[in-house]
């Protein structure tokens, strides 16, 4: 019917002809959701959002209940939960309090172990789901100098491994437990020095092969460029060089003090404080990230407090059957924050504790 025409009374329109056959499928939008980066500068293709707030977060660990447990240097361990599924914590509860300067968390079944100044405590749910009192499993640690006992990791052998810092910058400790990796049974028995020669091994983690690694903050008295911070493959009975030996020191002659000292698996810029450590054993990131080490770089505090080189470094480690080696590259730059610890969540996200801003950051591949 031409435009503007009318039909005679009683007339009807003829049925519409069937549509012409087509071989072109219906077009469906396949646009990829755009990543969101709410803080810092992140590797392409990833999103970063603020998951929750915790004052002075120092250590992170997901519990068997799926909640994120975050230690605060103010003496509290919080439990954070995302109840409405929007990938942000909307509940924060005090799990345990009055533990001075907790710096390490690790779960063994339904028990949370907390490393705090001079001791390690175990906290478990009691009857009716109520939280029982903190139960001391290790006490009397030599933690009242420059550093204290740090991060915890549960090993495949059932032992808990603990970083124990030095009392000084570059001294010879009287107590062999200082500047070392310790290990003990979950009930506190069989406490022993597992490895030595580490000034401040802030965190520990196991890779997919079951090998233990630890970060270390090197001495501060040798100027702006030495020694580098380290990521070390920790083996029983090894000495890692502190205080005399480091990468960049004079090459030791056979039989001298530094000969036989274990070399680091990776090094970082001097005085930038390589702290939290996690291996990525989830599948949300692309395949090439599996079993990579992620290291929280707090940034210099004493020598270059305004230095913006802070964030998270990624290290893809390779092994020749014995020694591991890898070169760090920036995964997240966070010049306005101070990342101190990180962990991988059950959703495959990487969670980062920003000590300076009191935030827990969530990183995933693709849209958040």
**DSSP run (H or E) holding 351:** strand 350-354
Burial class from Cβ neighbours inside 10 Å (0-12, 13-18, 19+) for residue 155 reads: middle
For 176, the token pair is 């062999």
In whole angstroms, how far apart are CA 166 and each of 36, 91, 197, 341?
41, 37, 9, 20
Q: Is the peptide bond before 92 cis (omega within 30 degrees of 0)?
A: no
Torsion of CA 133, 137, 138, 143, to 10 degrees: -20
Evaluate if pTM is beyond 0.85: yes
Per-residue pLDDT of the chain (368 residues; tens, 9 = 90+): 333 333 334 433 344 445 455 454 444 444 567 999 999 999 999 999 999 999 999 999 999 999 999 999 999 999 999 999 999 999 999 999 999 999 999 999 999 999 999 999 999 876 555 677 789 999 999 999 999 999 999 999 999 999 999 999 999 999 999 999 999 999 999 999 999 999 999 999 999 999 999 999 999 999 999 999 999 999 999 999 999 999 877 666 666 778 889 999 999 999 999 999 999 999 999 999 999 999 999 999 888 889 999 999 999 999 987 799 999 999 999 999 999 999 999 999 999 999 999 999 999 999 99
**Which residue's structure tokens are 């994120």?**
68
Q: Which two tokens stand for residue 7?
A: 């039909």
How far lies 314's CA from each of 200, 201, 206, 363, in Å? Answer: 20, 18, 15, 13
List phi, psi (to 5°) of 311. Answer: 155, -145
Residue 122 and residue 134 in contact, taking contact as beta carbons nearer than 8 Å? yes
């Amino acid at each position: 019917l031409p435009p503007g025409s009318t039909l005679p009374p009683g007339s009807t329109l003829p049925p519409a002809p069937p549509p012409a056959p087509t071989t072109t499928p219906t077009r469906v939008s396949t646009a990829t959701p755009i990543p969101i980066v709410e803080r810092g500068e992140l590797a392409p293709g990833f999103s970063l959002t603020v998951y929750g707030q915790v004052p002075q977060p120092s250590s992170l660990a997901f519990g068997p209940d799926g909640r994120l447990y975050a230690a605060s240097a103010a003496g509290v361990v919080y439990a954070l939960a995302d109840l409405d599924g929007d990938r942000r914590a909307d509940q924060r509860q005090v799990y345990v309090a009055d533990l001075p300067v907790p710096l390490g968390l690790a779960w063994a079944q339904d028990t949370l172990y907390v490393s705090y100044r001079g001791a390690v405590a175990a906290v478990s749910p009691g009857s009716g789901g109520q939280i029982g009192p903190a139960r001391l499993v290790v006490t009397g640690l030599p933690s009242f100098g420059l550093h204290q006992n740090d991060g915890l990791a549960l090993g495949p052998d059932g032992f808990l491994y603990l970083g124990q810092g030095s009392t000084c910058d570059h001294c010879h400790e009287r107590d062999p437990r200082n500047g070392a990796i310790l290990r003990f049974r979950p009930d506190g028995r069989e406490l022993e020095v597992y490895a030595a020669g580490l000034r401040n091994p802030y965190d520990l983690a196991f890779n997919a092969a079951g090998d233990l690694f630890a970060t270390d903050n090197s001495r501060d008295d040798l100027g702006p460029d030495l020694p580098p911070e380290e990521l070390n493959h920790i083996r029983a009975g090894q000495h890692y060089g502190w205080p005399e030996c480091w990468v960049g020191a004079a090459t030791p002659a056979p039989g001298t003090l530094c000969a036989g000292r274990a070399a680091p698996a990776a090094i970082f810029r001097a005085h930038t404080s390589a702290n939290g450590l996690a291996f990525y054993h989830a599948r949300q990131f692309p395949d090439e990230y599996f079993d990579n080490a992620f290291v929280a770089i707090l940034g210099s505090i004493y020598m270059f407090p305004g230095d913006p080189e802070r964030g998270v470094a990624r290290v893809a480690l390779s092994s020749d059957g014995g020694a591991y080696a890898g070169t760090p590259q920036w995964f997240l730059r966070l010049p306005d924050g101070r990342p101190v610890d990180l962990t991988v969540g059950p959703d495959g996200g990487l969670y980062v504790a920003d000590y300076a801003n009191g935030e827990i950051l969530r990183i995933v591949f693709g849209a958040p």
